[in-house]
């Protein structure tokens, strides 16, 4: 085989690889745009949601969360509680009047990122990490889908949970959270982390890594 033929084959392989990369990039962009459309927030602004005082971690809120183990979450969390959901508000918006904006695009152009949320209060039965003085806490849960799941359907008054809290800075609500385990019988389940394990095992794991 001549050097000219080898050079031609190398060029063809390079063109094929570039073509595949372009097609893959187009597919990923399309999927990203579809995911962002669930929230009404443009792809260009989704990465800036956290800086816009999003009450949750932006990755969780928009379905780009990476599952983690209880040990990893324990190290990540500011505090961890075992508690009970007491109240769940109706849907509100982070707008001056609390209602949906007339134009999402206009709000975004003005540097504001509108989002819908519910305010949730919980009574604290027990702190598993970094005890705080309060035994009633308030969090905000973004309305919508995360990882294709309806997160708000889990927010039922009377339901017991293990909540891995994050502390918010310069926001009206002090607490956010990294993940939530729903307690049903002897089992604790986290949709975010795709984990289901005995409650006693979860608590033991947390206490072991919270020291």
Q: For residue 39, what are the contacts with CB-CB under 8 A and spacing of at least 6?
A: 46, 61, 62, 115, 142, 144
Confidence of residue 110 (pLDDT cuts 50, 70, 90): low
d(CA 88, CA 122): 9
- Rounded distance between C-alpha atoms, residue 164 and residue 76, angstroms: 8
Residues 57 and 130 in one domain: yes
pLDDT tens readout for residues 22-59 = 666 555 555 444 444 444 433 333 333 333 344 444 44
Q: Which helix (H) or strand (E) holds 141?
A: strand 136-142
pTM of the prediction? 0.65
Does 63 lie in the same domain as 20? no
- The answer for residues whose C-beta is within 8 angstroms of residue 186's C-beta and 6 or more apart is 198, 199, 200
| R_g of the chain, CA atoms, integer Å | 22
Number of domains in the chain: 2
**87 and 160 fall within a common domain:** yes
Task: Tell me the sheet residues that pair with 120.
Answer: 88, 139
* 123 confidence band (pLDDT: 50, 70, 90): very high
Largest CA distance in the chain: 79
| 119 and 193 housed in the same domain | yes
User: Do 139 and 83 share a structural domain?
Assistant: yes
- Calculate the alpha carbon distances from 41 to 18, 99, 103 in Å: 31, 16, 11
| Containing structural domain, residue 146 | 50-209
- How far CA 196 is from CA of 1, 199, 202, in Å, comes to 60, 9, 9
Domain CATH for 130: 2.40.50.120
HSE-CB for 36 with a 13 A CA cutoff: 19
Q: In terms of domains, do 84 and 117 share one?
A: yes
Q: What is the per-residue pLDDT for 163?
A: 95
Mean pLDDT of 54-78: 68
How much is the pLDDT for 94? 77
| Location of structure tokens 């983690």 | 68
């Amino acid at each position: 085989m001549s050097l000219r033929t080898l050079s031609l084959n190398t060029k063809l392989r390079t063109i094929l690889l570039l073509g595949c990369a372009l097609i893959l990039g187009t597919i990923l962009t399309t999927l990203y745009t579809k995911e962002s459309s669930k929230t009404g927030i443009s792809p260009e602004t989704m990465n800036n949601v956290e800086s816009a005082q999003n009450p949750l971690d932006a990755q969780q809120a928009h379905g780009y969360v990476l599952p983690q183990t209880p040990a990893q979450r324990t190290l990540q969390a500011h505090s961890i509680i075992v508690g009970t959901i007491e109240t769940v508000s109706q849907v509100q918006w982070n707008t001056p009047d609390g209602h949906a904006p007339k134009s999402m695009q206009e709000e975004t152009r003005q540097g504001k990122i509108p989002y819908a949320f519910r305010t949730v209060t919980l009574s604290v039965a027990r702190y598993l990490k970094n005890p705080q003085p309060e035994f009633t806490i308030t969090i905000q849960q973004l309305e919508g889908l995360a990882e294709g799941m309806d997160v708000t359907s889990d927010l039922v008054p009377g339901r017991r949970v293990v909540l891995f809290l994050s502390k918010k800075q310069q926001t009206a609500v002090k607490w956010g959270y990294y993940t939530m385990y729903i307690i049903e019988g002897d089992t604790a389940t986290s949709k975010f982390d795709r984990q289901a394990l005995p409650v006693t095992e979860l608590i033991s794991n947390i206490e072991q890594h919270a020291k």
